[in-house]
Amino acid sequence: MGLLHSLVAGIAMGSPIAQVQGDVAPRDVTPPDFTWWREARFGMFIHWGLYAEAAGSWRGRFLGGWTEWLLSKGKIDPVEYQRELLPRFDPAGFDADAVVSAAKRAGMGYIVITTKHHEGFCLWDSADSPSDLAMTPFAVRGRSPLRELADACQREGIRLGFYYSLLDWHDSDYLPRRAWDARSSAGVDYARYSQRMRTHLEELLGGQFGNIDILWGDGDWEHGPQAHGSPELLARARELQPGLLVNNRWSLPGDYDTPENTIPDAPLPRPWETCMTMNESWGYTPRVETYKPAVELVRMLADIASKDGNFLLNVGPDGDGRLDPVALERLDQIGGWMDLNAESIRGTRGAGTIHAPAVYSWGRLTVRQSPDGDGGSLYLHVFEKPESGEIVVPGLAAEVRGVSVLGLAGIGGEPIGFTQRGSDGVVALPAGMHNNATSMDMVIKVEVAGWPPIAGEPRPSVDAGLFEGSLVLGFDVAPGSEVLVTADGSEPRVGGLTTHTLGESQQSIPLTVTSRVRARSVVRGVVTGEEFADTYTLATPWPAVAGASPRIQATLMEGAPGQFSHAPGTLACAPTSASMPAPLVRAIDVHDVSLPIESWLPEDNFAVQFDGIVDVPATGIWTFWLTSDDGSMLWIDGKLVVDNDGPHGAKEVRGQAPLAAGAHAIRVGFFEGGGAAMLSLEWAGPGSDRATVPAAAFGAP
């Protein structure tokens, strides 16, 4: 519990549980290792294809905007588009070493390049493509952009990722056609297109371009995962490139999230990366006046890192394969700042990882724990110096070993003033040290003993929810601080009658009844940080259903567009009217609670209700995670345990139930309104780590 989750109050219908909602998506594989990716923090996105040669113009008219969307903006016949641009793709000026050195100059640690964008052009020689490099003069020269870039990245120790669009405006096997595309779709088989995607991934990840670290999908919004064949595609991709990081644009959650041209206000629960244009377009545009100022880009990098995210900043090489001078200038300006301040970005974590705020009136906070774990550094990114000249860090509890301005350690010999003021750490900047008008981001490094150094919202040793018998509840106590705790709902106060003070002498409190727990951090006698408040509920296990054997069956309901906006099992599931007749209903074959990957499963406008008996292996508190796109609900023994209802993207909601070992009735309702569809049910309980509820629990052999 903490900054990343919010408590959704216990649901009615007699459910004794509290639910926690998060946007954490399910794990389709063991999460890969993000260490190198987090160390890098900063990468280059390259959008390059036939569109670069067109540069936003068609038949003499500049259409502007995202120039990689020219075909769509201009409603151009896809065949004519290819006929016009393929013969013109001859970017003799492309110099992979120059591109990689520009990325390194900026302090970037990885590059993601478009291998096939929506226009359908494959930037490599493919055995199965209606539009690929082999059809261009560039290939006739024996040139291969991906090969050259992969070699340059290898030489310079830069990691390489491939962007690949599932959407293809040109391939005749891709459906739906663009509205202005007159080609017949008779006899078209989307499965043939999916197979071609698999061929492409085999070619891209099969070794000819060496190690590929990222598979950046896109254009998944017109079909669900089954139609794309995404589960199989990604499984094969991970086989070909072990450790591959896969993003969330394959109509499946993948490994990380990708906010686009936006920076979240707060950290996201999963690894995440903001991708951002440097100007107004992903593909090359001649409108250089739209470039963002370097100060804005540097502050974005610090803002994203303070929230534990990565920054993928885009460049669009032109038709000759060159980065335009303004892009190169921006990369150089960012590099100039990174020369002095890279340690405040690369290898740091967001402030939320030590439960401190990332955002302050003066700027942002990134942190780095020392390898020995005892102490580390805080990096105060000062965007705007307050009138007072004081940079205040609330709750700074640890002993401060040193304070300096990165890159200006010997600044005029003037010491950087630091004082502890009650529970605040205060850095006083000398008058002339920071100019709000010209300083991009001045970084103050505060070296501390003890970790975590900031006492914020107290973090409990056990998440709130149900417990059986009794519970020993502790809190993380930041060195140099204490935690005040009450279990009777009263305000925790220094010296309060029912307030426990956790620190050196006492680390926990016993709970034996349902308790409303409240906690605050105290630093040098001053209460600081947000309050923790949550309820721990004493629960008695629900008895097993005598004589019932584990089983599961499911009912599929197929409706009209817009018919479903709630999960089955609720009254509002499938309203009918003259325009919306009752859904078609039939039994389907299932072995667990997941969507069968069968061709007959509709893509949209359907619902599935699972009913059965689940065999619970041990008595105790069982936690369930129900993740779905769109909505879903879980009942155990007729009581609502998880409410994840409503139209939404992949979203996980957690609930708990006290269960005696043995058979329990289970019902799951799921609906898909449109777009991607996915459903997963996981559990964890005494002796069982978090895992998908196995088919065996429903009686499968």
Asked if residue 176 has a cis previous peptide bond (ω within 30° of 0), the answer is: yes
- Residue nearer to ligand JFZ on the CB measure, 118 or 434: 118
Q: Does 113 bind ligand JFZ (CB under 6 A)?
A: no
Paired with 640 in beta bridges are: 635
Q: Which span (66-74, 190-198, 427-435, 543-551) binds ligand JFZ, by CB under 6 A? A: 66-74
Q: Does 275 bind ligand JFZ (CB under 6 A)?
A: yes
CB of residue 221 vs ligand JFZ: minimum separation in angstroms? 6
Pairwise CA distance, residues 468 & 658, whole Å = 8
CB of residue 336 vs ligand JFZ: minimum separation in angstroms? 27
Q: Does 218 bind ligand JFZ (CB under 6 A)?
A: yes
Q: Which of 121, 127, 148 is nearest to 53 (CA)?
A: 121
- Residue nearer to ligand JFZ on the CB measure, 26 or 316: 316
Pairwise CA distance, residues 333 & 344, whole Å = 17
Going from the C-alpha of 369 to that of each of 79, 347, 525, the distances in angstroms are: 56, 10, 26
Considering Cα of 609, then 613, then 615, then 620, what sign does the dihedral take?
Answer: positive
Q: Does 169 bind ligand JFZ (CB under 6 A)?
A: no
Residues 422-451 that bind ligand JFZ (CB under 6 A): none
Residues 280-299 that bind ligand JFZ (CB under 6 A): 282
Q: Which of 666, 677, 570 is nearest to 624 (CA)?
A: 666
List the end-to-end C-alpha distance of the chain, in Å, as a whole number: 37
CB of residue 227 vs ligand JFZ: minimum separation in angstroms? 18
Whether 568 contacts 635, CB under 8 Å = no
Going from the C-alpha of 661 to that of each of 11, 49, 469, 616, 617, the distances in angstroms are: 24, 59, 16, 5, 5
- Residue nearer to ligand JFZ on the CB measure, 319 or 453: 319
State whether residue 360 is helix, strand or coil. Answer: strand
Q: Does 23 bind ligand JFZ (CB under 6 A)?
A: no
Q: Which one of residues 23, 28, 53, 68 is an interface residue with ligand JFZ (CB under 6 A)? A: 68
Q: Does 66 bind ligand JFZ (CB under 6 A)?
A: yes
- Residue nearer to ligand JFZ on the CB measure, 239 or 260: 260
The pattern of x and - marking residues 178 through 217 that bind ligand JFZ according to CB under 6 A reads ----------------------------------------
CB of residue 300 vs ligand JFZ: minimum separation in angstroms? 16
Q: Does 670 bind ligand JFZ (CB under 6 A)?
A: no
CB of residue 108 vs ligand JFZ: minimum separation in angstroms? 17
- Residue nearer to ligand JFZ on the CB measure, 258 or 535: 258
- Residue nearer to ligand JFZ on the CB measure, 153 or 275: 275
Tokens of 127: 């055995």
CB of residue 494 vs ligand JFZ: minimum separation in angstroms? 49
Pairwise CA distance, residues 55 & 288, whole Å = 12
Burial of 189 (0-12, 13-18, 19+ CB in 10 A): exposed
CB of residue 470 vs ligand JFZ: minimum separation in angstroms? 48
CB of residue 65 vs ligand JFZ: minimum separation in angstroms? 10
Q: What angle do CA 466, 16, 5 make, to 5 degrees?
A: 60
Burial of 157 (0-12, 13-18, 19+ CB in 10 A): exposed
- Residue nearer to ligand JFZ on the CB measure, 604 or 643: 604
Q: Which residue is nearest to ligand JFZ (CB)?
A: 282
Q: Which of 123, 55, 56, 51 is nearest to 81 (CA)?
A: 51
Tokens of 101: 């050195």
Q: Which span (34-42, 62-70, 340-348, 644-652) binds ligand JFZ, by CB under 6 A? A: 62-70
- Residue nearer to ligand JFZ on the CB measure, 258 or 555: 258
- Residue nearer to ligand JFZ on the CB measure, 68 or 303: 68
CB of residue 649 vs ligand JFZ: minimum separation in angstroms? 9
CB of residue 391 vs ligand JFZ: minimum separation in angstroms? 36
- Residue nearer to ligand JFZ on the CB measure, 53 or 482: 53
Whether 453 contacts 368, CB under 8 Å = no
Pairwise CA distance, residues 129 & 118, whole Å = 13
Tokens of 325: 């001078």
* Number of other residues whose CB lies within 10 A of the CB of residue 461: 12
Residues 586-615 that bind ligand JFZ (CB under 6 A): none
Q: Does 396 bind ligand JFZ (CB under 6 A)?
A: no
Whether 449 contacts 345, CB under 8 Å = no
- Residue nearer to ligand JFZ on the CB measure, 260 or 339: 260
Asked if residue 630 has a cis previous peptide bond (ω within 30° of 0), the answer is: yes
Which residue in the block uniquely carries the two structure tokens 């995404």?
230
CB of residue 39 vs ligand JFZ: minimum separation in angstroms? 23
* Number of other residues whose CB lies within 10 A of the CB of residue 612: 23
CB of residue 250 vs ligand JFZ: minimum separation in angstroms? 12
CB of residue 201 vs ligand JFZ: minimum separation in angstroms? 18
Residues 232-261 that bind ligand JFZ (CB under 6 A): 260
CB of residue 566 vs ligand JFZ: minimum separation in angstroms? 24
Q: Which span (63-71, 315-323, 407-415, 680-688) binds ligand JFZ, by CB under 6 A? A: 63-71
Pairwise CA distance, residues 365 & 393, whole Å = 9
Tokens of 585: 């209903």
- Residue nearer to ligand JFZ on the CB measure, 68 or 615: 68
- Residue nearer to ligand JFZ on the CB measure, 57 or 353: 57
Q: Which span (9-17, 64-72, 454-462, 502-510) binds ligand JFZ, by CB under 6 A? A: 64-72
State whether residue 228 is helix, strand or coil. Answer: helix
Whether 592 contacts 548, CB under 8 Å = no
List phi, psi (to 5°) of 128. Answer: -145, 85
In order, the DSSP letters of 313-340 are: EEE---TTSPPPHHHHHHHHHHHHHHHH
CB of residue 616 vs ligand JFZ: minimum separation in angstroms? 39
- Using CB under 6 A as the criterion, which residues of the chain lie in contact with ligand JFZ when the complex forms? 66, 68-69, 218, 260, 275, 282
